[in-house]
Structure 1
């Protein structure tokens, strides 16, 4: 077993000593300091008593404070070194005091300098070392020069004041002895070093060092500096005597050191003491001091210089030298401050003008530059604005992460820069939208060529995180000043054209025209009134029956939304549903549809129609919601409906965008008993092979194929029915309007039919009546139904 080190033994001994010992030692220390304060004011003291008592009182005071520092070192292992240095410094000072007492009071000698000075001078280096170890975190690089200059300005200003009151006379008195001169300069020099360090820590690093212990320690150091300064002034003047009020600052400083050691591990949140408030006051005053101290220092030296302007004595030369140094340092600091302010202003201006991610011009800069370009354009030289939006960027962002999305945007910006001229503008509008401004367009046909180059460049694979990522772009173009005379209007027109490019299949170029403007205005009006349609109860649900072709029975229906606006009139779902999807309204409308249908179905089932099933159309945005399945299950429970009473209709595009994720959700739906219908089959990917990979229950053949049977024959529809039945799926023929069509699809073994031949979409009351009576010739209801 390895023997314990002496330090480890001391640590174990410390752990056995009860915590209240610190409070006892601190109480004894404070009592001695108060007694010393009383002693300095006692009347009728003899010189013998004053000198002996005044010198001997330092021994127990410094010893107790050093003992508390040693105990703080053992209590706080993370701060052990600083407190050991503080303790050693005080032991050194009291050793010097012992030597001085022996020489002065016992041997009646007063040599200067003596060995006692060496130990006295040991205190400040120990305190400085402890302070440096107490906070080792470096200053930020951009602050170091200013902090160094401010510290030097204050130190030289105080050195000038020191020269005025003590150093000059000390130099004159000790010029014959080099050792005496060096010792005489060492005392104020050590004090100035301590002042410099205190300024750095307390003024420039208050958040890191401010706390209960450091507050007491700083107060003690300030008292020590006052005592040292007063001692040197009085010594030079020949008026210092031990045992008077000045000595109380030394004992007070030592008491504060002991208090700091006792509070070494004290938290900011301490009962009865609002350290948090003191900490905030310290930080706030430090921020003010950072600005004020250099100017106060300059004011100090100028004040000293003014007192010696007409009196050329020994002190005046040192004062004027100090003034010169401080003024030079202040000038350098002012230059650096102005330079940093200018550099910061240029950086801020650049940030205001550019996009931080890509380095391109941002929106505000684009508006300004585009307005200038339009103003400079003429009849022979137009300005072309190309509004670029990345296709599938949200999918890429969600799949690969936002960091990869940022890398993709940066690579897009790099490609765009290489494809434009030096006079053209490349900007990031925001998100995944970019704008290119061609400022010197003499032939509009060249804009198409540039657009084609952009489409080719952006369709090439991007390397993101070492993996290839594919994207494309939709581009809208407007020409100025022919189509817009302001930057705002130009961007609006190009944005409209870009949306038309997306509508036409993406990865394409679209020029702006007036028809797009008219369509955009209509979309804007639809969006405006659609936002208020739910609250005004303008939306309604109709139900179109699905008829069993073999028997004519009605056991299911498709729920269809209608909007009758008091301002715009009746708006087709084919018109307002895409607007709702583009403008973020489809989710709230979809929730209303499901709630309305479920509530109505619950009423019909309460009337006894337990085998009735209603199918509901679901948009891609609804189906892709993370909580879509949970919301459906909650609504089934709310209206006490079994899953078998509901069918969800989805289009091919919704399911095939991400086949694996779609099948996962379809399995969850079927787990609730909900059936799934593939709506408008054949109009999307038009591949029968997909049926095998989709977990659906019903295939709805689009009306266009039913109508095409008259000319093209039944082959394609027959193939769909055959494959669907082979896979165990039921088939619904949509858009049946003639008896001939009904007979044809029935002959092909279609299961269900839907269309105006049987019934137009009916109100809830009309459909309920039809179900109650199971009217075979539902066409008799058409006269009263809503189209």
Structure 2
């Protein structure tokens, strides 16, 4: 507001300089005081050369009016901030209150980093009513303030503490990896809270029941974390009552329930627990492999094998798909170097990505670096056919920038989603992969054969390379060759192989696809 007052004065007063400063006007200057929150005073001062026309009464009045406006505005702003602090604070302990806690929890839940767990600790002071009744409310207040001070110290390390009831406190812990991490932090907290201390002639030794609820991922409703923490705290109190044991601080830890598949998907990315297998792409004219497609496989220690489509769906929802793709690209490109070094001459590697991932702010810049990082290896990114339905001019331009950088673009599963030929013709592509559904009845359906023949011709006409997917028999290979198809992939050449298995195959057979087939 001070800067705004000076800016307004410059448009209304003929002066060489107008500034806000700590010293009042002197000599030929004119100025007016501005009272700031906290009792400080600044001055709005105008000055000009001695030889110039002196300031007039109107100039002084303008300066006074602007200074008073600034004083009133800053005072009102300070009053609003003071009111906000009052509304959000517990007056006894100085900690944030329930309202501030709910706001902070929502923010922490929404803004947590990938794989960052948070926990809510619900803390209840045991026998607080007896303390108040037996030793007086002034002692009870001292106890509440002591606990508040200790929680505030813990919160300074990146957490958030609040008093949410008479003898109830909460603490948010951030940056956790597991419920065990939350347990260890809570145990340390209990030791700190329970230590005896002399306060104004009274020795206070808080005894607390603590419920801990751990949340591994962003919750649709963060209040569920609080509910679970409250339940865990009540379980501690009930157990204490049934056992009739000596009064000492204790706790119980629980976790907010999550979808096991979601948890397994996140675990695979967090722990780099994914494997890749490689399926060859074969040139029918030569009978040799010229590329591999990297396919993701995950064997979870709890759920076992996870279907790739289910894995991808979960990671999209967790906003972890980019993390997965980076891991896949790094492993696949490293494998491609090994495959080329066998002397086979195979130097193309395909990976699957979503069109939206090509944006520069996501993976576009990263992918564009692959030709430089892996010289001599051609990376091909495969987009699913649905991509054409969401492609805009910006993404088309980004796809072209990647091609200019040396990255190939393929459209996968063409023919399964009904994309128009014009959409294919206008999107920057190098490869068109025909979906397996187009060849399911190739031996008996003349219509399928004509569709495949036409699509092969279409690909040639628009300058892209067509690859037929899902080829599983020698009969299909023969028919496709007769239809003019030049490139295929599928189980007829064997199941997708591990990196070690593919390396062995290439060192043994070179790039020969299969010696059992009748190659021309």
TM-score (norm 1): 0.35
Q: Does 1:603 align with 2:338?
A: yes
Task: Tell whether 2:137 aligns with 1:137.
Answer: no
**Structure 1 gap ranges (5+):** 1-14, 16-67, 81-86, 89-125, 141-200, 209-282, 292-340, 342-351, 353-485, 490-520, 781-787
Does 2:386 correspond to 1:641?
no
Contact conserved, 2:293 with 2:350, CA < 8 A, in 1?
yes
Partner of 1:770: 505
Matched residues in 2 for 1:691 and 1:652: separation? 9
TM-align CA RMSD: 4.2
Instruction: Give the corresponding residue for 1:461.
Output: none
The secondary structure found in structure 2 opposite 1:78 is strand
CA distance in 2 between partners of 1:616 and 1:645 (Å): 11
> Does the aligned pair in 1 maintain the 2:430–2:464 contact within 8 Å?
yes
Q: Evaluate the alpha carbon distance shift between residue 700 and residue 70 of structure 1 in structure 2; reply closer, same or farther with a 3 A threshold.
A: closer
Q: Secondary structure at the match of 2:343?
A: coil
Matched with 1:683 is: 416
Work out which structure has the larger RCO, using CA pairs closer than 8 Å and 6 or more positions apart in sequence.
Answer: 2
* Contact 2:276/2:294, CA 8 A, preserved across alignment: yes
Distance in structure 2 (CA, Å) of the matches to 1:592 and 1:691: 29
Measured in 2, the distance between the counterparts of 1:71 and 1:680 equals 82
Note closer, same or farther for the CA distance 1:542–1:735 as it changes in structure 2 (3 Å cut): same
**Equivalent of 1:670, from 377, 392, 403?**
403
Q: How many residues align?
A: 304
Tell me, in whole angstroms, the C-alpha distance in 2 between the residues paired with 1:570 and 1:522: 22
Partner of 1:702: 435
**Secondary structure at 1:543 match in 2:** strand
1:362-390 C-alpha deviation (Å, 9 max, x unpaired): xxxxxxxxxxxxxxxxxxxxxxxxxxxxx
Q: Is the contact made by 2:438 and 2:448 (CA closer than 8 Å) also made in structure 1? A: no
How far did residue 531 of structure 1 move? Answer: 1.4
1:740 partnered with 2:468 = no
Farther-moved stretch of structure 1 (612-621 vs 130-139): 130-139
Deviation of the 1:70 alpha carbon: 5.1
Residue number in structure 1 paired with 2:448: 713
Within-5 A mapping of 1:419-430: none
**2:488 is aligned with 1:559:** no
* 1:255 paired residue number: none
Q: Report what 1:78 is aligned to.
A: 46
In the alignment, the residues of structure 2 paired with residue 531 and residue 590 of structure 1 have an alpha-carbon distance, to the nearest angstrom, of 13
Q: CA deviation at 1:610?
A: 4.2
The aligned residue for residue 317 of structure 2 is: 582
Deviation at 1:764, TM superposition (A): 0.7
8 A Cα contact 1:611 1:645, kept in partner: no
Does structure 1 residue 544 correspond to structure 2 residue 279? yes
- Alignment equivalent of 1:724, drawn from 439, 459, 471: 459
Cα distance between partner residues in 1 of 2:277 and 2:419: 29
Question: What displacement does 1:79 show?
Answer: 6.3
- The separation in 2 between residues aligned to 1:584 and 1:627, in whole angstroms, is 11
Structure-1 residue corresponding to 2:383: 650
Give the whole-Å Cα distance in 2 for the aligned partners of 1:651 and 1:728: 19
For the 8 Å contact 1:590–1:622, the answer to whether it is kept is no
With over 3 angstroms needed to count, the CA separation of the structure-2 counterparts of 1:527 and 1:621, relative to structure 1, is farther
Change in CA separation of 1:79 and 1:722 when aligned onto 2, cut-off 3 Å: same
Give the secondary structure class of the aligned counterpart of 1:766: helix
Match of 1:756 among 491, 496, 502: 491
> Secondary structure of the equivalent of 1:526?
helix
Residue matched to 1:444 = none
CA displacement 1:593-643 (0-9 Å, x = unmatched): 1111111212333343444211111123322343533212334333x323x
Q: TM-score, normalised by structure 2?
A: 0.51
Q: Distance in 1 between matches of 2:431 and 2:60?
A: 80
Partner of 1:24: none
Gaps of 5+ in 2: 1-15, 17-24, 32-43, 49-54, 88-98, 100-220, 225-255
From the superposition, tell whether residues 71 and 593 of structure 1 become closer, same or farther in structure 2 (CA, over 3 Å): same
- Equivalent residues of 2:346, 2:511 under 8 A apart: no
The structure number with the bigger radius of gyration is 1
Aligned-partner Cα distance in 2 for 1:670–1:747: 32
In the superposition, relative to structure 1, how do residues 628 and 536 fare at CA in structure 2: closer, same or farther (>3 Å)? closer
Q: Partners of 1:713 and 1:748 in 2: how far apart?
A: 11
- Structure 1: distance between partners of 2:468 and 2:26: 93
Cα 1:73–1:535 change in 2 (3 A) is: closer
The structure-2 alpha-carbon separation of the partners of 1:550 and 1:522, relative to structure 1 and needing over 3 Å to count, comes to farther
CA pair 131-71 structure 1, distance change in 2 beyond 3 A:
closer
Counterpart CA distance in 2 for 1:207 and 1:691 is 61
Write 1 or 2 for the structure with the bigger share of strand: 2
The 1:207/1:636 distance shift into structure 2, 3 A limit, reads: same
